[in-house]
A and B are shown apart, each in its own frame.
Chain A
Amino acid sequence: MTTHKVEQLIIATAGFFWCFLMWFSTAAFSPSIAADYHLNIKALGLLASSAIWMAPAGRVLAGWASDRFGAPRTFACLLGGCGLISIASGFTTNYNVLFLERILVAIAGVSFVVGIQHVAQWFDAHEIGTAEGLYAGTGNAGAGAGALVLPRLFGTNYHAAFIDLGVVALIIAAWYLWRGRAATSAERKNLVRGKSGLRGTLFIWSRYIAIALMLAYAMSFGLEIALNAWLPGYFMRGFHKEILALGFHGVAGVQIAAGTFAAVASFTASLFRPFSGFMSDLFQRRGWAPLPFIAKTLPYAPRLHWLGVSLILIILAMSGLTASGLSGSLHLSVVTLVALGIFISCGTGGTFALVPLLFPDRPGSAAGFIGGVSTAAAIVYPLIFSRGENPHIGYICVAFFMFLPFMLFYFWAARYERHPEEHGLLPGRLALDEA
């Protein structure tokens, strides 16, 4: 059966889009679930946070599985398993069982790294940024689409929504198995499979450049997830008077305005992501390498520089968010937030334009480590944002005490002019045995 890489990109993107839709469908219906089961605010918070629980460890495992068994089988298993549990949750009438089932459905969120591995196995180095960006950015939009479309389509009938989402997931799983191909050639597939052992995983986890990329992703995607949860509360607390002055009344009115300001960051961060991959390709094509310290002669050096530029922009925008907040200008804060959303997408797209090039023989394991462990950062940032009396100060604290060291480590790890992936914490011999 013949296929084309664009078909593989479309299959992976459709699968990822649907997985994200399922992942965030619980949040879209949380008011209805809370009303049905009379949940208090604490139980609602627990339900909302449960979506992220499986991501760090699950992504690491999924990345390894996609190298070992191939992306189509791994993705089909994820879609099929989560789809069946989603259908079951549509018939559940006990809240404890429903809670458990929705945690299991949230495993769909780990599919990100499987698709990254799949796309990496099909696209060439000069176009990998745009291809990975299109996959990840379009798929990420599934979360926003779910929030906008599902409540309109199903109203408060979350039972029907969970069943329908599950049925479509089973159809996509069958499509993935039928048309999906793990790699451009059997040799390529077997090479990746042969390097997917424990030593290969240890090799990835101990590389300085892999750790630097993981921290860069924590600065971008980790921040994106943290802001999704944090920003509505921030606007309600930090700009309450200004929102009332716009004409909103009561808790519900302020909540709508605060939610809208928060949503623009999430929306731009998702939909600008393909643009970042395109920019990475553009840096590469033009040979731009403007930053000091970072390698300039590596075949993919300009892509390292694009990510470096993105990290600087994120730090500047975070500092700007504190400055805008302290100035008391709601308009300026929202504009800065839109800029931060775009710069976050530069970081996410820039990171995964590099991962397949740095670890071509272990794209799944590398994506699992970088895309998985970094999500744990989403738990830390809101804790820092919420410390202290002034809600605006937290951004600059995170920027200076966390992001600046992360960025300096990235510059340090990306300075090697030859094979940066050979430098790491474990003895070189172990690394070279596997490399």
Chain B
Amino acid sequence: MKPNLPAEDVPHEPWYKYGVMFLFLEMAIALAVCGYSLYLTFHGLGGFPGKH
């Protein structure tokens, strides 16, 4: 699995931690909006939030 090169052990700067937190927040928003709108649609209640 691992190639013949050393894994990068470069320490990340403080911003990186917040950047990763932000990207996980974006993913959570994507999943929540998808889940909510699919729930509405599969129950015949409407479509993408607001388009009832």
Task: Assess whether A248 is in contact with B37, with CB atoms less than 8 Å apart.
Answer: no
The stretch from A128-136, A157-165, A189-197, A397-405 touching chain B is A128-136
| Chain A window 145-165, contacts with chain B (Cβ cutoff 8 Å), 1 for yes, 0 for no | 000100010000000000000
| Chain A window 92-103, contacts with chain B (Cβ cutoff 8 Å), 1 for yes, 0 for no | 000000000000
A88 at the A/B interface (Cβ < 8 Å)?
no
A264 touches which of B5, B34, B44 (Cβ 8 Å): B34
A17→B10 CA distance, assembly (Å): 30
A residues less than 8 Å from B7 (CB atoms): 285-287
B14: nearest residue on chain A (CB-CB)?
Answer: A6
Task: Assess whether B29 is in contact with A271, with CB atoms less than 8 Å apart.
Answer: yes
A272→B28 CA distance, assembly (Å): 9
A247→B44 CA distance, assembly (Å): 5
How many residues of A are counted as interface, with CB atoms below 8 angstroms from the partner's CB atoms?
Answer: 48
B residues less than 8 Å from A270 (CB atoms): 30
Known interface pairs A267-B30, A274-B26; A331-B50 also in contact (CB < 8 Å): no
Task: Assess whether B34 is in contact with A338, with CB atoms less than 8 Å apart.
Answer: yes
A338→B32 CA distance, assembly (Å): 12
Sort A-B residue pairs by CB-CB distance and give the 6 closest, nearest first: A247-B44, A271-B30, A296-B3, A274-B23, A256-B47, A260-B47
Known interface pairs A264-B38, A268-B34; A148-B27 also in contact (CB < 8 Å): no
Q: How near does chain A come to B41, taking the closest CB pair, in angstroms?
A: 5
B4 touches which of A152, A268, A296 (Cβ 8 Å): A296
Task: Assess whether A287 is in contact with B26, with CB atoms less than 8 Å apart.
Answer: no
Q: How near does chain B come to A137, taking the closest CB pair, in angstroms?
A: 6
A118→B11 CA distance, assembly (Å): 23
Task: Assess whether B26 is in contact with A271, with CB atoms less than 8 Å apart.
Answer: yes
| Chain A window 120-146, contacts with chain B (Cβ cutoff 8 Å), 1 for yes, 0 for no | 000010110011011001100100000
Task: Assess whether B19 is in contact with A260, with CB atoms less than 8 Å apart.
Answer: no
B residues less than 8 Å from A127 (CB atoms): 12-13, 16
A323 at the A/B interface (Cβ < 8 Å)?
no
Q: How near does chain B come to A366, taking the closest CB pair, in angstroms?
A: 22
Question: Which residues of A from 277 to 306 have beta carbons under 8 Å from B?
Answer: 277-278, 284-290, 296-297, 299, 301-302
Task: Assess whether B8 is in contact with A284, with CB atoms less than 8 Å apart.
Answer: yes
Known interface pairs A127-B12, A272-B30, A301-B3; A260-B23 also in contact (CB < 8 Å): no
